[in-house]
Structures are given as structure tokens and as C-alpha cells.
Homo-oligomer: A and B are copies of this chain.
Amino acid sequence: MVELARNAAGRRVPVIVNGCQQIPYLGIGKYQARGHKAGPPVRSNKDYPENGDKRLPDLQTALLRCGLCDGMVISNHHHLRDGDRVALMALEAAAKLGAKDLMWFPSASFPAQKNAIDLMQSGVIHHIEGSMNGPLGDYCTQGKMRGMGVLRSHGGRWQAIQDGEVHIDIAIIAAPTADPFGNADGSHGRSACGSLGFALADSMYADFVIAVTDNLVPFPCIPWQIQGNNVDCVVEVDSIGDPAQIISGTTQITRSPDRLQIAEFVARFLRDSGIMRNGFSFQAGAGGIALAFVDYLRRMMKEDGVKARFVRGGSTRYLVEMLQEGLTDYILDGQTFDLDAVKSIASDPRHVPTSPLTSYNYHGKGNFASMVDAVVLGATEVDVNFNGNVVTHSDGRLLHGIGGWQNCLFAGCSILAIPSFRDRIPVIVDEVTTLTGPGELIDVVVTERGIAINPDRQDLVDAVKGSSLPIRPIQDIKAEVERICGGKPAKPKLGDRPVAVVKWVDGTVLDTVWQLG
């Protein structure tokens, strides 16, 4: 039986996860970070080739060179998204070498990597710590994973590596371009994905680093988003991924009238509240609503003659066009979602790659997220106290990662832009199935039926007084939706065995994902 404690959000969380003592969530800004950052081993040039050529013939040789053994932590990044071939290639190479009980530590996993389930069943992978999108998350909530899943935000992943909570033995970096020294870049090559920021911490803190590329160039690979000085060996492969899947499919503006309505409400909220003003900043992702919002906002900015100082990606052609039209000075970009954005980040010095350190790490000397005026996010559920859930569905299944979502909540105004119901299941609930973001950080919930402002943000309530926006109490919207859907969502059937935990940005445990009953 796993020992549980009740944390400051009232949630029951395990006190030990995968053998490590945990700190239950204490409240926002309540945990006092202490100690020192992790110090990776000191290496010496004398043990690396003087001519800088670190190439090895294949991944198995590279893993052996890095001392692969049972129980190690193997990390990957997810910039190639559902097109990535490198992670499975590496794990399968480890399997061929007879490795067992690995902890796989991807920045996110995708449906294309569902063969990792076979590797868990055969004992090669012990468990996964990292976002599990789709089948791997489902596998986890079925209770089949040996260890506990640990879900972290992008910033939380940096924090965990930096603070030494997760020690990476071998980091494997899929590099759209690299040189024999290990300098690597994501913005060029046939498998270009733009930024490589999610792999940066891995390259800095892992004991060993392997760069895997299908586009080897002579030294120097410019720019070097990953520095060869941190890389142990370089492996050339035929293909690191499927370019058609590297570029996300979610980069089309929604055509749903309800979702277009949401997007328009969000844009008008920013305008009418005065957030949209010269020098302001915003962040929006790549979902259909977010893209439509950017399109509405862009028109409003043009109408009012307003220019942003910076916008934050995930970047798409909509942000790139804003940059090119002079509607923003800069794009500060964490992920690059379409080909226009890849081209822009490769050639426009105003389109700047960022990393989870600059943008999201909570255990630094500040980060960019809290400097953003407004952020537009999604959610699977939000409750009447404005608590948000992005990882599980109302049926308790774990299907999504946290991404930068938790980190972004620190923006000046955090907005959940969500349809009021999906598949006739209300999205506004009494209590979220899995607490991913505390309500005190969620300022506005925008649905097609109206806009609810967190009562803690009287300043925002005042700011839109007199506007024609349908501002309503969240309880009102919820009641209307329940009438339409025929009541509240069914309670999920959950067992009492924790299968994963949701970490807060400071490394404390915010909530538990339970095995399905």
C-alpha cells in the first residue's frame, strides 16, 4: 500500500514516488528551494578525439561507449513530435544490448512511440517519467506500468534535472543537423523542427550525450543550439523522423462556429480590458482556437494601431506573419509548429529560440512566463474554483501531458479558452478529476456561452465593465451547460492505487492520477 498525504490543495498524494521521498504541494510560492544545482561529471579533453570527430557507427556502439547498464535513465526530447524515430530506435538498441529496467525520461511521448509498451512488457523499460500523450498514458492509467508516472511541465522538467531530482545517465538528442563534434541545430535539414530547447537541459546535465542526425555537416554546425562541448558521440542514421509528422497537424484554424466564437471572445477580452496596448505581449499555442484567436487579435491590433513587444510561440505561420507585418518586435519561441515557422526561425534574427530555462524554469532567477501579459490555454476540465485539468479526461484516463501549461499560468492574465462541453460532456465541473493548475492562478475562463472572470481578479472585472462581452459567473455557465448535456459528467471509476503524479512547477506533488477501477 502506498502511503498518502493530503497536500495544501486538499489532494491525496503519495509520499514516496519510485523510491524517492516527495514533498506534497504547499501552495503557490510556499516551497523554499534549497541546495545546489546538479553538477555533472568533470570530463577532460584528453579523453575525446583532438580532431573533434566523435562519430560512432551506430546507436548500439554509442550506448556501449556511454556505459549503458540496467536501471539507467535514458532521455529524449520531443521536438520531432509524432514523427520522431530516434527515441524508439535508441530504446530498441538498448533492448538488443539486453538492458533492463530503464527509466525512460522523454520530454514528451507520442502515439508513434506506442511500441514503448512492448518494451515495458518485456522489462526493458521499467517506467516513464514524462508527458504521455495517448496510448502510453492510457497504459499507465490501466495500472500496467511497473513504476509510477511522473508528469512535469516543461519548466518542471528543467527544474527536476537542474535540481538533481532526475539524474540522466544517457541523453539521446535527435538532431536535424549536426557536425562530427556534436554541435546540433534544429532549424536546418530535411527533418528540421525549429528549436531544440527541450533537449538543452539534457545536454547540459546528463552524464553522457549522444547526438543522432540524418544531416551531418562539416564543423561548425551553425547555429549550435546544442553545444558539442557537452556531447560524447555522434551517430548518423538514415532518418531521424517523418517530416510530415514532425510538423504538427494542429495548425489549422478551427472551422467550428462555437470555437470561432470562443476565439473572438478571447481577442475582444484582451482588447476591451486594455491588455492589448502598445508594447504588450501574449502567448498562444497551436490548437485551432488559439490560432483563430491570433487571427482575430491581429485584426484588432491593426484596427487600433497597436504593436506588441513580443509574442511567444509555439510558433506558426500566424505569428510569423505578425512579425513580418511589424505587429511584434520579436517571437520568443519554444516550439516550432509549421514549416513557415521553421523557415522563419532559421533565417530571421527577430525569431528567437528559447529554452525551458529562459521561459519556464521556476527555480531560476525569474523566467519569461511571468512577464507575458496574457496567455491563452486549453484544458480538459475546469472547476467552479477555477482549478484546471489538462492531463486526464473526466473518465479518469491519462491522455495528455502538461507541456508549458502550468508555467504559463504565471502570466499577467491566464485565460482558458475552452468549449463548454465536448461529446456532450460538460467541461466545467464541480471539482477537476486531476488538479493540474491551482485556481488562484487561472484568471479567466472563456467559453462560447460566456466569459467567467476569477473573482480574485477584481482588476479584470473592473477593466471590462461596460464592454459588450458576455461576462457571467462560472456557476451560471456551468448550470446552463448541465441543462444542455443532461446533467453533470459521470464520476470516473477510479481505484485507490496511484499510477502517476502531477508535479507542480517547484517539484512538489500537486495531485495523483489513479488506476482506473
Q: Output the least CB separation between A45 and chain B (Å).
A: 5
Judged by a CB distance under 8 angstroms, whether A227 is at the interface is yes
Select A42's contact among B35, B279, B332, B368, beta carbons within 8 Å.
B35
Contact B358 A229, beta carbon cutoff 8 Å: yes
Contact A229 B363, beta carbon cutoff 8 Å: no
Judged by a CB distance under 8 angstroms, whether A64 is at the interface is no
Restricting to A11-48, which residues have a CB under 8 Å from any CB of B? 29, 31-46, 48
Q: Output the least CB separation between A289 and chain B (Å).
A: 27
Judged by a CB distance under 8 angstroms, whether A198 is at the interface is no
Question: Known interface pairs A44-B506, A349-B349, A364-B45. Does A36 touch B39 (Cβ–Cβ under 8 Å)?
Answer: yes
Smallest CB-CB separation from A37: which chain B residue? Answer: B39
Select A44's contact among B332, B349, B362, beta carbons within 8 Å.
B362
Known: A34-B42, A39-B164, A222-B352. 5 other contacts (CB 8 A): A45-B367, A209-B365, A220-B368, A223-B352, A232-B365
B contact residues around A371 at 8 Å (CB): 50-52, 181, 219
Smallest CB-CB separation from A46: which chain B residue? Answer: B29
B contact residues around A54 at 8 Å (CB): 365-366
Judged by a CB distance under 8 angstroms, whether A182 is at the interface is yes
A366 to B45, CA, bound (A): 4
Contact A365 B230, beta carbon cutoff 8 Å: yes
Question: Known interface pairs A36-B40, A50-B370, A371-B52. Does A45 touch B363 (Cβ–Cβ under 8 Å)?
Answer: yes
B contact residues around A368 at 8 Å (CB): 52, 220
Judged by a CB distance under 8 angstroms, whether A514 is at the interface is no
Contact B358 A227, beta carbon cutoff 8 Å: yes
Q: Output the least CB separation between A466 and chain B (Å).
A: 27
Q: How many copies of this protein are present in the complex? A: 2
Question: Known interface pairs A39-B37, A40-B37. Does A366 touch B229 (Cβ–Cβ under 8 Å)?
Answer: yes
The listed residue with most B CB atoms (<10 A of its CB), out of A38, A358, A364, is A364
Q: Output the least CB separation between A373 and chain B (Å).
A: 10
Restricting to A194-222, which residues have a CB under 8 Å from any CB of B? 209, 218-220, 222
Contact digits for A318-335, partner B, Cβ 8 Å, 1 yes 0 no = 000000000000101000
Contact A44 B232, beta carbon cutoff 8 Å: no
Contact digits for A149-193, partner B, Cβ 8 Å, 1 yes 0 no = 000000000000011100000000000000001100000000000
Judged by a CB distance under 8 angstroms, whether A76 is at the interface is no
B contact residues around A363 at 8 Å (CB): 42-45
Please list 28 pairs of residues, one from A and one from B, whose beta carbons are closer than 8 Å in the complex, sorted by A's number: A32-B44, A34-B42, A36-B39, A36-B40, A36-B42, A37-B40, A37-B42, A42-B162, A42-B163, A42-B363, A44-B506, A45-B362, A45-B364, A45-B367, A45-B410, A50-B370, A50-B371, A51-B371, A52-B368, A52-B371, A54-B365, A220-B330, A223-B349, A228-B358, A228-B365, A229-B365, A230-B365, A232-B365
